[in-house]
């Protein structure tokens, strides 16, 4: 959710902090702010709205100082207005925060009774006042922060400035991600690798309970027991630049068009191209003993899990459950012995999925994380991890990360199938061949973007729609509906086509747009029968199919709009039919004039429950 940046240096820091916030804006953009220490005073500039408003203020207001913290906010406690923007300050302390303080109300009431006056509605201001109260009682900066950690409950990462320690930046982790990046004569803190990659070649991740005391030329980390510890420095392998949209108007468009390239890259890491077989790195399990697979995820990653369930069940003959992370652990479902639980996340920091991971490990489950960020919390906490190699995904609505997740899930399903004898070597090669065809099939679909643009113009005034599909195309439909909801704010639902008669058919009326996803596979005829039911009620159908599918619907083709893709199979179909849905959502959003990359109320990395 919220993004944190901090810097202690020998040079002025405000302009660099602003640049860092631009790299974090995908994490939250309801408001933003920067605070520095200068001339024995904490100075601050904040603004409601996206970073352009803060940048405009900073162009007219000097914010000197060689130490500072910055924040871009996704609102939890308190509406998105300037008084609730971070950093929050007292006359002695400034704090930026990612997370939620669960006992905020109790602490706030105690502080009010003690005479503290609040200027915001946020839980973060509580933290600021508690640290200040400990400093006023005579504790030093470090001990005041450590005592505050004992008082607050919840998930948090803090960046803290203390006026009487003007050369030190304090970083605190208690469940939300935070890292340190080091460079010559300066040290940074940031919420993720991407925020630090422009400034440092290495990164040090804090662990829960850590407090770091950071100066411009060194830093020390103390764990939950106050012991000085060494945290491993890791190289930032992939240097990325925020400014490289290239010819594309939005990051979402760029990331849609990157899919042939990044899928090929992902495949190259899991396939022996010379032999045409899988080349998955060694994992610490005997897959032949796996009796149950559970896939756990949120949002688009959950839909990737639903698609992959077909692969796992067909290729492995193992029972598969797919769970929404935010619901899963609260049900406390029984976990079978020899069970494998797979956690799917773009960021590897999704709070609900991380909590589910810890729950499953406590139940003795084998765990694998499938993530885009290879040094994320989920990777570090799992028994093993598989990176999806999508590269940085800045657009809030997931596109290339979703399809790269599917790559890894398909490879893992095939691997387990060959390990337990459910698939032969010949079948493995057949499925690998299908995987290798996907970049070409997706490129062919992207070549038809002009047809999508024409469709989008016809649909630019829609306010509600349904996406229908069967089998794997049902979660593809749900993902398509989610994309449209996320970026165009059109009400859309993905639904199993065969379930229309059990309620949703009541919604059909003249000219209601219905997206039908119907590859010419074993479920095609059943899907077409649902298509006839929709047309009989005068709804307006947009059929996504292939040439054979179009040929087999007969004269009815004159009553519908169509978008044709190449013929597909059980492996390639979910990839290929996802693409037109991404493009439809993007171009409808463009015509509606919404903020495609940063849709309202959403953030890229959901690090609070």
Q: Give me the mean pLDDT over the 70-93 stretch.
A: 90
150 contacts: CB under 8 Å, gap ≥ 6:
none
Res 3: pLDDT: 87
457-516 per-position pLDDT tens digit: 999 999 999 999 999 999 999 999 999 999 999 999 999 999 988 998 998 999 899 999
Residues of the chain with CATH 3.60.20.10: 3-235
Whether the CB-CB separation of 396 and 599 falls below 8 Å is answered with yes
Res 242: pLDDT: 43
Strands 233-235 and 202-205: antiparallel
Q: Give me the mean pLDDT over the 22-37 stretch.
A: 86
Please say if 604 is a catalytic residue.
yes
Res 177: pLDDT: 85
- How far apart CA 67 and CA 237 sit, in angstroms, is 27
Q: Give me the mean pLDDT over the 362-388 stretch.
A: 91
pLDDT at 73 over 90: no
100-136 per-position pLDDT tens digit: 898 999 999 999 999 999 999 999 999 999 999 999 9
pLDDT at 267 over 60: yes
Report CA dihedral (248, 249, 251, 252) to the nearest 10 degrees: -100
363 contacts: CB under 8 Å, gap ≥ 6:
335
Most distant CA pair in the chain: distance in Å? 84
Q: What percent of the chain has pLDDT over 90?
A: 76
Least confident of 299-308, 466-475, 513-522, 550-559: 550-559
* CA-to-CA separations, 301 to 298, 305, 354, 475, in angstroms, rounded: 6, 6, 14, 11
SS3 487: helix
pLDDT at 390 over 80: yes
Choice among 2, 298, 379, 411 that is catalytic: 2
Res 500: pLDDT: 86
Task: Report which of 458, 494, 490 is spatially closest to residue 577, judged by C-alpha positions.
Answer: 494
Please say if 128 is a catalytic residue.
no
Q: Give me the mean pLDDT over the 271-281 stretch.
A: 93
DSSP of 268-296, one letter per residue? HHHEETTTTEE-PPP-SS-GGG--EEEEE
Res 607: pLDDT: 54
Res 119: pLDDT: 96
Res 604: pLDDT: 65
Architecture (CATH level 2) of domain 251-435: 3-Layer(aba) Sandwich (3.40)
Does domain 3-235 bear CATH number 3.60.20.10?
Answer: yes
Q: CATH says 449-592 is which class?
A: alpha beta
Residues of the chain with CATH 3.40.50.10490: 251-435, 449-592
Res 605: pLDDT: 61
Q: Give me the mean pLDDT over the 128-147 stretch.
A: 97
What's the pTM value of the predicted model, to 2 decimals? Answer: 0.79
How many Cα atoms occupy the beta-carbon half-sphere of 282 within 13 Å?
Answer: 1
Whether the CB-CB separation of 47 and 223 falls below 8 Å is answered with no
Q: Give me the mean pLDDT over the 337-341 stretch.
A: 89
Res 302: pLDDT: 97
Whether the CB-CB separation of 354 and 321 falls below 8 Å is answered with no
User: How does residue 430 score in pLDDT terms, banded at 50, 70 and 90?
Assistant: very high
3 contacts: CB under 8 Å, gap ≥ 6:
21, 24, 25, 26, 27, 28, 71, 72, 98, 190, 191, 192, 195
342 contacts: CB under 8 Å, gap ≥ 6:
293, 294, 295, 296, 305, 367, 368, 369, 370, 409, 412
Task: Report which of 19, 64, 34 is spatially closest to residue 159, judged by C-alpha positions.
Answer: 34
Sheet-wide strand order for 339-345:
319-324, 292-297, 339-345, 366-371, 384-387
- How far apart CA 175 and CA 215 sit, in angstroms, is 23
User: How does residue 243 score in pLDDT terms, banded at 50, 70 and 90?
Assistant: very low
Instruction: Tell me what percent of the chain is helix, strand and coil, each rounded to the nearest 5.
Output: 40, 25, 35
Choice among 366, 387, 483, 604 that is catalytic: 604
Res 579: pLDDT: 97
pLDDT at 263 over 70: yes
Q: What percent of the chain has pLDDT over 70?
A: 97
């Amino acid at each position: 959710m919220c993004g944190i940046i901090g810097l202690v240096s020998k040079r002025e820091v405000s302009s660099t902090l602003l640049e860092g916030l631009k790299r974090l804006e995908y994490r939250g953009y309801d408001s933003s702010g920067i605070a520095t220490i200068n001339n024995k005073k904490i100075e601050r500039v904040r603004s409601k709205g996206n970073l352009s408003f803060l940048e405009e203020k900073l162009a007219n207001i000097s914010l000197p100082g060689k130490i500072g913290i910055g924040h871009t906010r996704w609102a939890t406690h308190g509406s998105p207005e300037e008084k609730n923007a971070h950093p929050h300050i007292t006359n002695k302390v400034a704090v930026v925060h990612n997370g939620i303080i669960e006992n905020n109300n109790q602490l706030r009431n105690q502080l009010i009774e003690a005479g503290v006056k609040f200027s915001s509605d946020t839980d973060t201001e509580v933290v600021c006042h508690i640290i200040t109260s400990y400093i006023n009682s005579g504790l030093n900066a470090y001990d005041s922060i450590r005592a505050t950690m004992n008082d607050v409950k919840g998930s948090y990462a803090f960046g803290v400035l203390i006026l009487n320690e003007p050369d030190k930046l304090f970083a605190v982790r208690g469940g939300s991600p935070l890292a340190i990046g080091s460079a010559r004569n300066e040290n940074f803190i940031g919420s993720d690798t991407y925020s630090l990659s422009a400034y440092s070649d290495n990164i040090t991740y804090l662990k829960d309970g850590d407090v770091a005391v950071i100066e411009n030329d060194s830093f020390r980390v103390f764990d939950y027991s106050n012991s000085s510890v060494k945290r491993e420095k890791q190289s930032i392998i992939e240097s990325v630049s925020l400014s490289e949209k290239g010819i594309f108007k939005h990051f979402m468009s760029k990331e849609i068009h990157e899919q042939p390239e990044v899928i090929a890259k992902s495949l190259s890491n899991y396939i022996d191209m010379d032999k045409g077989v899988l080349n998955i790195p060694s994992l610490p399990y005997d897959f032949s003993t796996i009796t149950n697979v559970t896939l756990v995820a949120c949002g688009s990653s959950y839909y990737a899990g639903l698609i992959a369930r077909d692969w796992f069940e067909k290729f492995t003959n193992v029972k598969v459950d797919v769970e929404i992370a935010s619901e899963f652990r609260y049900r406390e479902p029984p976990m079978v012995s020899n069970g494998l639980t797979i956690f799917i996340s773009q960021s590897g920091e999704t709070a609900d999925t991380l909590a589910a991971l810890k729950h499953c490990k406590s139940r003795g489950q084998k765990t694998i994380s499938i993530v885009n960020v290879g040094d994320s919390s989920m990777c570090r906490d799992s028994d093993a991890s598989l990176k999806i190699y999508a590269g940085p995904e800045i657009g809030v609505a997931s596109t290339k990360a979703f399809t790269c997740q599917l790559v890894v899930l398909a490879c893992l399903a095939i691997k387990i199938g060959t390990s337990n004898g459910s698939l032969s070597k010949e079948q493995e090669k057949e499925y690998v061949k299908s995987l290798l065809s996907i970049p070409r099939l997706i490129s062919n679909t992207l070549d038809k973007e002009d047809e999508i643009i024409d469709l989008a113009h016809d649909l630019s005034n829609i306010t509600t729609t349904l996406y229908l599909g069967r089998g794997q195309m049902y979660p593809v439909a749900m993902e398509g509906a989610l994309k449209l909801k996320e970026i165009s704010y059109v009400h859309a639902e993905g639904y199993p086509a065969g379930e229309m008669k059990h309620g949703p058919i009541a919604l059909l009326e003249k000219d209601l747009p219905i997206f039908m996803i119907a590859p010419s596979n074993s479920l095609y005829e059943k899907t077409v029968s649902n298509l006839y039911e929709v047309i009989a009620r005068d709804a307006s159908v947009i059929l996504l199919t292939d040439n054979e599918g179009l040929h087999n619907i007969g004269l009815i083709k004159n009553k519908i709009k169509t978008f044709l893709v190449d013929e597909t199979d059980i492996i390639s179909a979910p990839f290929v039919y996802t693409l037109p849905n991404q493009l439809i959502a993007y171009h409808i959003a463009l015509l509606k004039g919404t903020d495609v990359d940063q849709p309202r109320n959403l953030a890229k990395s959901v690090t609070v429950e």
